[in-house]
Structures are given as structure tokens and as C-alpha cells.
Structure 1
Amino acid sequence: MKRYCLALDLKDDPKLIAQYEAWHKKVPPAVTFSIISSGIRDMEIYRTGNRLLMIMEVDDNFSFEKKSKADAKNAKVQEWETLMWDFQQPLPFAKEGEKWVLMDKIFDLK
């Protein structure tokens, strides 16, 4: 199993942040199904201020490219992503069109 950590910012507005968190208490089943069926075995999102950290544990069949292609064909996932973009904003150093930015691991206690 492999682990990925990704970062993204929310718009710095307490009301929008509260709404974003509320939406994540009731993620649509079609969205969670797309996550699981892509090979993601566990996913957590943490927040501090308006910065988000997503931790994903994936199986050997997972690839970001395959997930992206499948999501592009899934109307329910596209609906969700469009809704979430109302609350999100790219990191200041994100590439054009980049949403969640893959983080580099810089320390491991092991």
C-alpha cells in the first residue's frame, strides 16, 4: 500500500469553510464509490485555517491518471467537483489548472 499527501486551500471565509465541512459530512455515495473503485483504500482530509491536507492510502492498481480519466466521465463526480470549487482555491504555487497539489515527504521516523 502506498500513501500520498496532497494540499489545497479553501477560500479564506469562515462561512464558506463551515459549508465545506458540512458538505463533507454527507458526501454523495456516487463520489465515495468513485474513490473506492479507483483503488483508494483510505482517505482523510484535515484542515488548519484555510489549508487542507488530504492523506490517501492506495492499492497497487491506483494511478492519478486513471482516476482523473474516470472522474472526467462521471457526471456525479463532476457535479461534486464543481460544487467544491466554490469553496476551494489553488495554492499560490500551483500550476495552471492544478487543484490538489502532491506533497513531498521530507521526514520519516522509521
Structure 2
Amino acid sequence: MKRHCFALDLKNDPQLIAEYEHWHKNENGWPEVRKSILDAGIYDMQIYRTGNRLFMIMETADDYRSEEKAALDAANPKVQEWEMLMWKYQQPLPWATGNEKWVGMEQIYQL
């Protein structure tokens, strides 16, 4: 298994942050989006928040390829609908490139 870590900012608005958290409760998530995540070889995904900064940890199959996941997502209308909804709440990190949302993080320390 591989671990991937990403960061993203939310718009710094308490109401929007509360709405974003609402959509990420298990009972409010979209089953089609969950299925797309699991079908791509992502075994576990966790999102943490401090202020308006998000941190995501993904555990994936060794052969997981983000390019393949991106292509599958682009072809999935329900995932695209979800992504459009999430842009209401999200904003790119200042160093994100193009239309990049979640920016990969580099591990700098391990005990």
C-alpha cells in the first residue's frame, strides 16, 4: 500500500466551512463518489481541517495512478457534479498550478 498526502484551502467563511463539513459526513456523501474512490484503488481516505486548511491522507493500492483516477473522474458525470459543488467551498493554494485543487505534499520527516 502507498500513502499520499494532499492539502487544499477552503474559503475562509464559517458558513461555507460548515456546509463543506456537512457534505463530508458519511450520511450526506454521494454513493457514486464513494464508489468512484473505491473503484480507483483507494482503500482509505481521511480529511482533517484546521482553520480553513484541509489535509487529506489516502491509502492506495501500490499500482494506483492519479492520472487514471483523473481520467475516470472526468468521464463520470456524478463525480463532475460533486466537484463543481465542492468548488463553492474550496480555493486553490497560492502555489497550486493550473486548475489544481488538492496539492500533493512532500514528506520531510519520519520517526
**Following TM superposition, by how much is the alpha carbon of 1:61 offset from its aligned partner in structure 2, in angstroms?**
2.8
**Map 1:61-76 → 2, pairs under 5 A:** 61-76=63-78
Aligned sequence identity (%): 61
Task: Give the structure-1-normalised TM-score.
Answer: 0.98
CA distance in 2, matches of 1:81, 1:61: 24
CA distance in 1, matches of 2:75, 2:62: 22
1:53 — aligned with what?
55
Over the aligned positions, Cα root-mean-square deviation in angstroms equals 0.5
Listed as ranges, the gaps of 5+ residues in structure 2 are none
Moved over 2 A (4+): none
Provide Cα deviations, 1:30-76, integer angstroms capped at 9, x if missing partner.
Answer: 00000000000000000000000000000023110000000000000
**Map 1:4-19 → 2, pairs under 5 A:** 4-19=4-19
CA distance in 2, matches of 1:16, 1:59: 33
| Equivalent residues, number | 109
CA distance in 1, matches of 2:63, 2:77: 23
CA distance in 2, matches of 1:23, 1:73: 22
In the alignment, is residue 105 of structure 1 matched against residue 97 of structure 2? Answer: no
Task: Give the structure-2-normalised TM-score.
Answer: 0.97
